[in-house]
């Protein structure tokens, strides 16, 4: 049974440090081949960290979030947003706090919304993230239902269609960045959750989308990313082809990610960017 007492409780702080090697490992985990993300010593190329690595740093390498006496095989990542207060460096240290901000009763399950804030040792904000976990079978407790609105896609053809074929071992590589949830590696555990085989981490799909969009709309400059958001709508199986339809506007990119078979896996996608004439500066 879900523990409603977790609402509003602040956990932490935890101190998290990462190295250049961690940034390289994460990049390979989301399928990167670009030298700026996958090497630290290429001539004339400065190493960059992909912005979405912030989520891997703070979501799965700190003490595990506990929702109560619930079946972990029935927990799914539902939504994710990330706000960068400054570019993510390739190595560094942050102090992290986590708080459950909402618990919604969706009938068939409970939706638990959590916020993570990370600050530099100086106390300056580094990044913030809001995630939602859907706990199947934990609804019906009489709580508020919450909203379920979706932003419509632009009524024009996308500016770009991007494709990426996930590797058969994509989840096994991505899990090396900290998310060791057996749903993505153990066939027995995946079957308990109703999946024929292990599925890809939602945050891996999220990171792949970020990387491709940075390449297509920010000239490969990850420092221009202000934030990213999206709603996970269906699982991805390692080996699936991902297709991203993207619409450019003044402040960034609206996108939707599907499989080649047409199943939407990330809806309400949004990547916010600094304009090129106002690049971010590392501090």
**Catalytic machinery residues:** 179, 184
Q: What is the Cβ-side half-sphere exposure of residue 265, based on CA atoms within 13 angstroms?
A: 24
User: H/E element holding 56?
Assistant: helix 53-59
User: Cα 153 to the chain's mean position, in Å?
Assistant: 21
Distance CA 126, CA 92 (A): 10
Distance CA 283, CA 105 (A): 42
Cis-peptide, bond into residue 103, ω within 30° of zero: no
Q: What is the 3-state secondary structure (H, E, C) of 143-202?
A: CCCCCCCCCCCCCCCCCEEEEEECCCCHHHHHHHHCCCCHHHCCHHHHHHCCCCCCCCCH
Name which of 101, 100, 107 is nearest 141 in CA terms. 107
Distance CA 132, CA 112 (A): 5
Distance CA 14, CA 47 (A): 26
Strands 109-119 and 10-18, sheet pairing: unpaired
Strands 241-248 and 225-232, sheet pairing: unpaired
């Amino acid at each position: 049974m879900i523990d409603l007492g977790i609402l509003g409780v602040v956990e932490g702080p935890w101190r998290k440090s990462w190295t250049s090697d961690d940034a390289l490992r994460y990049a390979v985990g989301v399928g990167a081949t670009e030298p700026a993300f996958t090497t630290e010593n290429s001539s004339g190329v400065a190493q960059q960290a992909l912005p979405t690595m912030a989520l891997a740093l703070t979501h799965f390498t700190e003490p595990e979030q506990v929702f109560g006496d619930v079946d972990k095989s029935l927990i799914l990542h539902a939504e994710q947003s990330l706000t960068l207060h400054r570019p993510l460096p390739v190595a560094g240290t942050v102090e992290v706090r986590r708080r459950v901000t909402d618990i919604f009763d969706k009938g068939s399950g409970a939706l638990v919304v959590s916020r993570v804030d990370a600050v530099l040792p100086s106390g300056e904000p580094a990044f913030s993230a809001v995630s939602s976990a859907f706990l199947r079978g934990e609804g019906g407790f009489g709580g508020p239902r919450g909203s379920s609105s979706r932003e419509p896609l632009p009524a024009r053809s996308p500016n770009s269609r991007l494709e990426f074929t996930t590797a058969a071992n994509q989840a096994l590589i991505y899990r090396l960045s900290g998310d060791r949830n057996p749903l993505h590696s153990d066939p027995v555990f995946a079957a308990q959750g109703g999946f024929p085989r292990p599925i890809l981490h939602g945050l891996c799909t999220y990171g792949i989308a970020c990387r491709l969009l940075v390449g297509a709309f920010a000239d490969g400059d990850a420092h221009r990313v202000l934030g990213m958001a999206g709603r996970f709508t269906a699982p991805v199986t390692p080996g699936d082809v991902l297709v991203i339809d993207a619409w450019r506007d003044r402040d960034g990119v609206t996108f939707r990610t599907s499989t080649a078979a047409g199943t939407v896996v990330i809806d309400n996608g949004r990547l916010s960017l600094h304009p090129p004439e106002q690049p971010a500066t590392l501090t």
